[in-house]
Structure 1
Amino acid sequence: MSDSASSPLDTSSPSSSSSTLATTPNLTHGDLRRSSYFSTACNNPYPTKATGISLSCSCLVNASVTVVPNYEDDKQPPNYVYVFGGFNLYTDEVYNDLYRLNVSEMKWEDVIYLKGSRPSKRTSHSASLWNQDKIIIFGGTDEQDLNCNDVIILDLKTMTWERPQVDGRIPLGRARHSATIYNDKLYIVGGYYTNSEEERNSVSPDVNCLNLQTWTWEEPITLIPRHSHVSFTYQNRLYVYGGYNEEMDREKSLVILDLRTQQVSKIEITSDSGPEMNGQHFAQIYWNQLVVVVTQSLKVETQEGSIGVWALDLDSLQWHQFEDGDRFVQGNWHYFAMAENCPRFFLFGIDERESDEYFSNVLSVDLQEYGLSRIQPPTIGWDFTRLLNDSSTSDFTIKSNEDGPHIHVHRIILLARWPHFSNMINSGMTESFNSTLTIPEPYAVVQAFVSYLYTDIIEGQLPIYTVADLMVLGNMYLIPRLTSLCCARLQENISIENVAKIYQCASVAGAHALKKRSMRYINTNFGPVSKTQGFRTLPKEILFDFLDSLPDKAKISVE
């Protein structure tokens, strides 16, 4: 996801300016002077004055704001905040200056000494952080009021501007879009583009994706027309929140693009607990929460509706309000900045309505004040994995009926996880005295089975044939969760080459729904399936079962 920023010309919507993350040197433990600023400045619950140079254009509009978190200790405030581009509210002059806020000292500095050629002057662009040490700038509107489509990188380690050579389906110039990076891909969502046929700016419905490993633009995906919004990713899905549609109506819906299937969903969330559609809305992802900050509008003298901090739980789609915004009325806030999954956001603005120093007043808010913190996922399965095959603590071994090493295991874990093992031990079978058990399956299947007993999951990289045999074991040993996990994996991965194997194992394991789906797949693709090794080596009883299941009037048609 990206950082969010907003400016006076877009005062009632999430900003199109965005950025992800970067890394810079950490503070030294011995620097007591700088450490004292953490308690007096960044951790001050009320607005703080920033010092240092004044930005060349104090009334800077539609610049990008990028937060650089402290990666070595996420409980500490971020290291830097970068500001790039924008234009003068009064003269319309466009800039390509770069500024940096030293967060620990709350001091602005002009970043002059940079290698490479600066990007052209621009506004309403995106600035997305990649691999913790690079800012990727895309698009924006230049001095001639033309929309840009170039890609420029700022390497934060060397402070060098770079221009990668891109190819593929290069998108038209874009402004007031959103940008987010996921799995080394830059997603550009919506925004304004110049419609050559109508010679005017139109709102794009597309998602354009740049592969950051190959620098190739992929085919665009049609989503919805949206500008001045926020986009982020969560669990292999791209989310779009807020902003405006083509008719300049404010959007309340949450639009979701499944990045695996490209299926689009649109959800209308109606709740008395959610934020009202008034004032300025800023947003950023914090693990499984969409944090929404609402401040007073800069375009009206009186504020209607509520201001404060809300969070939308992306798992339950429930809103929660955490603050009524009393602190926010102590200033007029022009910019918001927050790094993805960082527990702190910043508001930049002024403390007097007449002032033009848009970055002089800083409010730093720690989300952990509201009880919002990252809860680490359970690790007990991985903790047990460290014990697997540890001969120094093992008191039992399991082996396959084919050549392969013995697997060193622990009775107490198997007694808790495997009913068959418990029955075997309690009945006094020979294996309980020999402390060795042979499972009549290939070694890879036995290894995957024991791994499941220790971790409660099946590995993502297991071959489909191994998963199919593992499903049979789960059914034979009365472990329904294992059987269900294998069924789900097989349902997602049926192909010409493996469908015969899946049909065979589903028949043996009593997985009736999977068996029926496999049969329909074979019937639909009978020609290529019948030529596979898997189909031609089906056991006689399985093949006859398949043939007996065919309708009496079934026939083969040739296209």
Structure 2
Amino acid sequence: MDPDVPVALAGDSPYYRLQSSICVDEELDLLMLFGGFDQDDIIDDHVYLLDLKANKWLDSRKCGIFREGHSMTSLSSGSVLVYGGLAVDDQYHQHLAGQNAVLNGLPMLIYNMVDDVWTSPESRSPDNGSRLEPISISRHSTCLSRDRSKVYISGGYNVVIKEEPVNDLYCYEFATNKWDRRTFVSRFDHFVYESGNKIWSFGGLSKQMNHVKKISMFDLDNNAVGELKLSNMPKMLTGNHTYLKISDHKVLDIFTSQWSLDQETIKPSIGLFDLQKTKYIPLITGSLNLLTKFRWRHFFIHNDSLCMLGYPLTPETNDTSYDYRMTHLMKIPLANLGASTKTDTGSTDVTLLSSFHRLYNHNSFTDFRIVAINSFTRPEDDNDMYERSDPINVHKLVLITRWPYFKKLYESGMAESQLNEMFIPEPVGWVSRLVEYFYTNSIDNCTIDEMSGLLLLSEMYELSELKSMLLSQIYADGFKLNTILEIWKIAVYLDDPILRSNCESFIFQNWGKLVKTSSFKKLDKQYILRLFEGLDNESKIVSDEAMQRKVKFDDEPLSTVSSTYRRVSSRSPQSIIVEEDDPQLFSHSNQTVDEEMDEDDDEW
């Protein structure tokens, strides 16, 4: 399966169900889809398994367990913890449940994907004798502890009382079957994960039915509750937010509209919460075809890729009234988003990297030379006459350890390995920075020209960690008027749809300013024509004054505009109010925003 290209799934694809849940077993390469209700409010009691290696849906399994608004957590060896949700256990459904009738009303279940067996673990109260049975809650959030010995269950709606979201934080220990309860935040439809012995909470709705913009934290050591505010936060968008943990301090924020009909005005987007940098970083903005031509319903991380499950859009698609089968899967390597999990530490041992760093700038014991082009610019493709640069002395051990391409070249016995010299027909400044990266695992103090060159080299030599590091830095710094065209040209050359779409979104939103820059005046005619390829039939040129009302140049992502919003479902307690704004202000990327805030929320 090619990255960034949706693939049609084999097998009998299931329909999308509201309030269904998924989880992935990394060991078995299986995705489990379960629960939710259809267009007639009928809850689906089938288990659907997707083989992520074969890209094929396996035969569905009818289980007689009815759930919606539940959570699912992958444990090990094919076991999945299914907790809470709105269960249907009346006489009719008990009859349908068959042998699983006794389990149907229980809040905590474990399903084994290998054996197709449902069980329910016993639970006990704390040692102090107080009775603490698990309550039935819906639209809550769960996460495992780092050692996977406990599961934490946060918030949600009490399915019996249904008055407001609860602020309970439950902890269940698998080895002892014991429960513990503490107090956190009142949330539902949110996301939690554990890191550093703290529980972090993102998004969701508060008891006032407002979208929560702040990040909350619960310290498991002392029961303290705190908040974290990030810089560069966008306005809260009305629609679906999916949060995915990719490392201890990085969380993806994936936004999609509630209905496919809204995608004309509410563009999907992907951003990154970086808790280490205390910053929100936009990763995908604008009208990327990979997002807008499909309706992506479920998102998950698998093999260091962002995976999306959904169906293609057609002019007849109307998922406000009808359910559609999830027939397609797309995998975007996290490196292509600048969000790879490998860049946090790199694939090379930290101690070894420290030793390499000390070798940098020292010619002692060097045993290999790299020669580049003695030029500040890249030569034309048809120009094979180069002025060679002075050699860059390096250590073969460093390159073999850090550069898979060089290792293959050296082991092949080619001329370079015999002569101990390699020629790279690229500007010497770029190649010098590449060598520095191999020694230091750093791109600090790189200019935009050097970063653009390294992007090209990372693609040429399949250095995904370097590419991720570069894109992360570019997105974190934000696009600038005087350098955006340089990055865009590299994106065009590399045929990178995500980077190109992001660049073009910024270019067209800042068109009035951009055309006055010296970099635009120097742009070749062929590139200007390529630039306009990204526009659709409805694109317009708007005045610079209109843009200034909504865009703060070079500082933050595009402000967004609002339109109408539809209710989620008759089962949902959610009620959203949005304001009308000027829908024609941006023809390239119009979005819906929800300006409502919690009473205790501060402005960013």
TM range (shorter): 0.5 to 0.7
Distance apart, 1:85 and its partner CA:
1.6
**1:154 paired residue number:** 111
Whether 2:331 is the aligned partner of 1:364: answer: yes
Whether 2:107 is the aligned partner of 1:130: answer: no
**2:171 paired residue number:** 209
Whether 2:52 is the aligned partner of 1:107: answer: no
The one-letter amino acid of 1:243's match is G
Larger Rg over CA atoms: 1
Whether 2:180 is the aligned partner of 1:180: answer: no
Closer, same or farther in 2 for the Cα pair 1:379/1:365, shift >3 Å? closer
> Percent identity at matched positions?
20
Q: Distance in 1 between matches of 2:339 and 2:80?
A: 27
Closer, same or farther in 2 for the Cα pair 1:194/1:175, shift >3 Å? closer
The one-letter amino acid of 1:51's match is A
**2:469 paired residue number:** none
Match of 2:190 among 226, 229, 241: 229
**2:157 paired residue number:** 192
The one-letter amino acid of 2:238's match is N
Distance apart, 1:226 and its partner CA:
0.4
Distance apart, 1:320 and its partner CA:
1.5
Q: TM-score, normalised by structure 1?
A: 0.53
Contact 1:173 1:193 in 2 (8 A): yes
Q: TM-score, normalised by structure 2?
A: 0.49
Closer, same or farther in 2 for the Cα pair 1:292/1:275, shift >3 Å? farther
Closer, same or farther in 2 for the Cα pair 1:130/1:314, shift >3 Å? same
Distance apart, 1:294 and its partner CA:
1.5
Contact 1:47 1:330 in 2 (8 A): no
Closer, same or farther in 2 for the Cα pair 1:245/1:309, shift >3 Å? same
The one-letter amino acid of 1:89's match is Q
Contact 2:7 2:329 in 1 (8 A): yes
**1:337 paired residue number:** 300
Look up the SS of the partner of 2:329 in the other structure: strand
Distance apart, 1:282 and its partner CA:
1.0
Distance apart, 1:289 and its partner CA:
0.9
The equivalences for 1:432-471 within 5 A come to none
The one-letter amino acid of 1:121's match is F
Which string of whole-angstrom CA distances, capped at 9 and with x for unpartnered residues, describes residues 258-281 of structure 1?
Answer: 122221112233525x46423321
Contact 2:36 2:44 in 1 (8 A): yes
Which string of whole-angstrom CA distances, capped at 9 and with x for unpartnered residues, describes residues 83-122 of structure 1?
Answer: 11222222x2212211111223322122439xxxx46211
Distance apart, 1:157 and its partner CA:
4.5
Match of 2:34 among 74, 84, 93: 84
Match of 2:240 among 255, 268, 280: 280
**1:93 paired residue number:** 42
Q: Distance in 1 between matches of 2:79 and 2:349?
A: 31
The one-letter amino acid of 1:124's match is G
Look up the SS of the partner of 1:88 in the other structure: coil
Look up the SS of the partner of 1:188 in the other structure: strand
Structure 1, unmatched stretches of 5+, are 1-37, 72-77, 385-559
Distance apart, 1:137 and its partner CA:
0.6
Contact 1:190 1:203 in 2 (8 A): yes
Q: Distance in 2 between matches of 1:318 and 1:129?
A: 30
The equivalences for 1:363-382 within 5 A come to 363-373=330-340, 374-375=342-343, 376=345, 379=349
Closer, same or farther in 2 for the Cα pair 1:296/1:46, shift >3 Å? farther
Distance apart, 1:347 and its partner CA:
3.3
Contact 2:124 2:177 in 1 (8 A): yes
Which string of whole-angstrom CA distances, capped at 9 and with x for unpartnered residues, describes residues 50-87 of structure 1?
Answer: 231143xx242211111233x5xxxxxx8221111222
Closer, same or farther in 2 for the Cα pair 1:344/1:208, shift >3 Å? same
The one-letter amino acid of 1:166's match is S
**2:584 paired residue number:** none
Distance apart, 1:140 and its partner CA:
0.8
The equivalences for 1:230-269 within 5 A come to 230-269=191-230
Alignment size in residue pairs: 323
Closer, same or farther in 2 for the Cα pair 1:268/1:50, shift >3 Å? same
CA RMSD after TM alignment: 3.0
**Runs of 4+ deviating beyond 4 Å:** 144-149, 302-306, 377-384
Contact 1:334 1:358 in 2 (8 A): no
Look up the SS of the partner of 2:138 in the other structure: coil
Distance apart, 1:149 and its partner CA:
5.2
The one-letter amino acid of 1:46's match is V
Closer, same or farther in 2 for the Cα pair 1:381/1:238, shift >3 Å? same
Distance apart, 1:344 and its partner CA:
2.6
Structure 2, unmatched stretches of 5+, are 94-103, 126-131, 355-604
Look up the SS of the partner of 1:61 in the other structure: coil
Q: Distance in 2 between matches of 1:383 and 1:371?
A: 21
The one-letter amino acid of 2:333's match is D
Look up the SS of the partner of 1:62 in the other structure: coil
Contact 1:275 1:306 in 2 (8 A): no
Q: Distance in 1 between matches of 2:235 and 2:242?
A: 11
The one-letter amino acid of 1:371's match is G
Distance apart, 1:298 and its partner CA:
1.1
Whether 2:134 is the aligned partner of 1:171: answer: yes
Look up the SS of the partner of 1:249 in the other structure: coil
Distance apart, 1:381 and its partner CA:
5.5
The one-letter amino acid of 1:279's match is G
Look up the SS of the partner of 2:137 in the other structure: coil
Q: Distance in 1 between matches of 2:284 and 2:54?
A: 27
